[in-house]
Structure 1
């Protein structure tokens, strides 16, 4: 009797790594989790220990195998989702990291990006080729910084032993014993070095950002065989690597958003709204990014519009670790339920700048409207509303491209029903929460089975829409919702004005 095929999907995220086992009917068998610690050694610096990331991959995979009682030799294939813009430099011969991983939230290259963005012709060129705005969020300036500022990186470059790339390229090198050095089109499209129409690294952009192209990984389709895992390095698993894709578009596919106009939002460390726009990039949508979602070996790539928020669920962790407002992240809901409204308190969650549609990395968070009656419950609830208002900004822009009647959501924040209701109220649209939170891993699983089973299985990309756990309907009147949104936009204007004010303006 034939045993069912089992697929291992590794979802390496910012705050934790998840390993999921799926069968060929796209049923989730088990999930392993392992947290990943971020470090902030200086203002604006956000880093992670690469070896800690690697240990989290091994630990979560081992946990998933143990939970499902699946031996390593039963794994039919491996797929990988990654953080996207986070980068690393390492040695080719042993995959040893040469510097901590620089995470997508890192702002150390703000000054460089502002200087480049002041050249409007260059900004237009980058927008037309990559679909992105010049911003430290993306990989290009981080990779250039590594090449200019880290002695070990410069030494490896001179010796010809340097490897540069996003975290997926390094993890693939690790699990394959150094035999695989690739990234997929979706992840490459987040670097600001990749031409999303030609599907190739751009020589001119690599030169501008001081990134040696010859040390970057080969861009490949998201669904194709790229190599085999090394059992001596990867827990005894020897299986083909069948899919690799950036985490956000993987979740888009996991939500079955395969037609133009289909939209989802992943609410995790940050919040990212993605809309499928079909097989042609749209490069002039105001304030929004255009990136490549996924590509099949023999098919056309799928593109999407994106609007991101850098601090969403991370706000609860920030309240806990940095401010002491709450004792654990889950408590943000508990204390917010103590009051029915913020009573005029507004929070702009710009702790790492404002992304879409503002793209201002220097603006900082503000809390306005405090009174003698205000307490931590008002601030916590205002923070949740601030994320909802940021989503409103993005969804309103996407609505002009294709009407959004309801928003599918996934991610850890969806476990907070009050937050979901607040988002529904501020967007004026139903919020549809999936029963399975592993939308990213499901998207990777779909791509991997497409690789293994051939073109006839591409129907799996359109299959298996996530079950609905809950639908949150808006309760606020249109008048109240619009009044609150107008006041919050005033708070954003004040944050932007504060950032742009020069010393001495108020003296």
Structure 2
């Protein structure tokens, strides 16, 4: 019987790591791949979403190959990730429509200040989400991308998510989505409307929809090839 392992994927702000543990919880090995940080203007921070994906896949592949571990030996995989970094992508092609806006980025602070100039709006958001309105969270980032990326708002196929365990199916888990104050499970449609974020843009992870199956199948095939 082959030895079993647990893999942890740590998709962080400046690097992606893959960590291998044995069934007793002992560290076996770790591989880390940094990726480029983009600063187009003072106070702005971006990532290339393809760099996020490729660095994480590269770290996992290098880890498994260097230790001669096959997919059948992986008992389970745990994922941790940067939740507020926001991506808008094309549901049909899987391609991002722009760079990801990183959680550190402050470009959307004026959006929050304008939105919350009415105290009742600020209190409503906090009552619904338990969060204080801030550019740190993802809703204002979505609005900025939709407003400033040509064709993004009009594209019926455009969807958004945070960098999240649901990413293979291009979706956010409800747990992650609660930190995205424009989502039905957290806020009502009135708040989303104020931010001009159509509810159809937000992908919540549940049963894999037929439209998302091609992404998920391609991702699994890619993983099998790399492993």
Tell me if both proteins adopt one fold, taking TM over 0.5 as the criterion.
yes
Size of the alignment, in residue pairs?
A: 218
Give the alignment partner of residue 179 of structure 2, picking from 182, 190, 202. 190
In 1: Cα distance, 2:97 partner to 2:187 partner: 23
- How much does 1:155 deviate? 4.2
Q: What residue in structure 2 maps to residue 214 of structure 1? A: 200
Q: What residue in structure 2 maps to residue 45 of structure 1? A: 44
Deviation digits for residues 195-241 of structure 1 (CA, Å, limit 9, x no counterpart): 7xxx4553222212221212212156xxxxxx788443225368xxx
Deviation digits for residues 144-169 of structure 1 (CA, Å, limit 9, x no counterpart): 1111121141342xxx2112111226
Cα distance, 1:201–1:27 mapped onto 2, change above 3 Å: farther
Q: What residue in structure 2 maps to residue 167 of structure 1? A: 163
Q: Name the SS for the 1:124 alignment partner.
A: helix
- How much does 1:101 deviate? 0.6
TM-score of the superposed pair, with normalisation by structure 1: 0.40
Q: Is the contact made by 2:128 and 2:186 (CA closer than 8 Å) also made in structure 1?
A: no
Q: What residue in structure 2 maps to residue 145 of structure 1? A: 144
Q: What residue in structure 1 maps to residue 82 of structure 2? A: 83
In 2: Cα distance, 1:218 partner to 1:124 partner: 25
Q: Is the contact made by 1:44 and 1:108 (CA closer than 8 Å) also made in structure 2?
A: yes
Q: Is the contact made by 2:161 and 2:170 (CA closer than 8 Å) also made in structure 1?
A: no
Q: Is the contact made by 2:146 and 2:153 (CA closer than 8 Å) also made in structure 1?
A: yes
- How much does 1:24 deviate? 3.5
- How much does 1:127 deviate? 0.7
Deviation digits for residues 2-51 of structure 1 (CA, Å, limit 9, x no counterpart): x3433332111101111122334333322110002111111221101111
Does 1:234 pair with 2:218? no
| Greater relative CO, 1 or 2 (CA 8 Å, sep 6+) | 2
Q: Name the SS for the 2:223 alignment partner.
A: coil
Q: What residue in structure 1 maps to residue 124 of structure 2? A: 125
In 1: Cα distance, 2:21 partner to 2:54 partner: 22
In 2: Cα distance, 1:23 partner to 1:117 partner: 49
Cα distance, 1:217–1:135 mapped onto 2, change above 3 Å: same
- How much does 1:133 deviate? 1.1
In 2: Cα distance, 1:201 partner to 1:24 partner: 41
Please tell me the root mean square deviation across aligned C-alpha atoms, in Å.
2.4
Q: Is the contact made by 2:88 and 2:158 (CA closer than 8 Å) also made in structure 1?
A: yes
Cα distance, 1:182–1:235 mapped onto 2, change above 3 Å: same
- How much does 1:124 deviate? 0.7
Q: Is the contact made by 2:115 and 2:194 (CA closer than 8 Å) also made in structure 1?
A: no
Cα distance, 1:132–1:33 mapped onto 2, change above 3 Å: same
Q: What residue in structure 1 maps to residue 58 of structure 2? A: 59
Does 1:100 pair with 2:107? no
In 2: Cα distance, 1:37 partner to 1:230 partner: 23
In 2: Cα distance, 1:96 partner to 1:194 partner: 22
Q: Is the contact made by 2:128 and 2:187 (CA closer than 8 Å) also made in structure 1?
A: no
In 2: Cα distance, 1:234 partner to 1:202 partner: 37
Deviation digits for residues 423-452 of structure 1 (CA, Å, limit 9, x no counterpart): xxxxxxxxxxxxxxxxxxxxxxxxxxxxxx
Q: Is the contact made by 1:90 and 1:162 (CA closer than 8 Å) also made in structure 2?
A: yes
Q: Is the contact made by 2:125 and 2:187 (CA closer than 8 Å) also made in structure 1?
A: no
Paired residues for 1:360-371 under 5 Å: none
Which structure 1 segments of 5+ residues have no match? Answer: 174-179, 221-226, 239-507
Cα distance, 1:66–1:237 mapped onto 2, change above 3 Å: closer
Paired residues for 1:372-387 under 5 Å: none
Q: Name the SS for the 1:8 alignment partner.
A: strand
Q: Name the SS for the 2:221 alignment partner.
A: coil
Paired residues for 1:16-31 under 5 Å: 16-31=15-30
Q: Is the contact made by 1:75 and 1:237 (CA closer than 8 Å) also made in structure 2?
A: no
Q: Is the contact made by 1:113 and 1:141 (CA closer than 8 Å) also made in structure 2?
A: yes
Q: Is the contact made by 1:130 and 1:194 (CA closer than 8 Å) also made in structure 2?
A: no
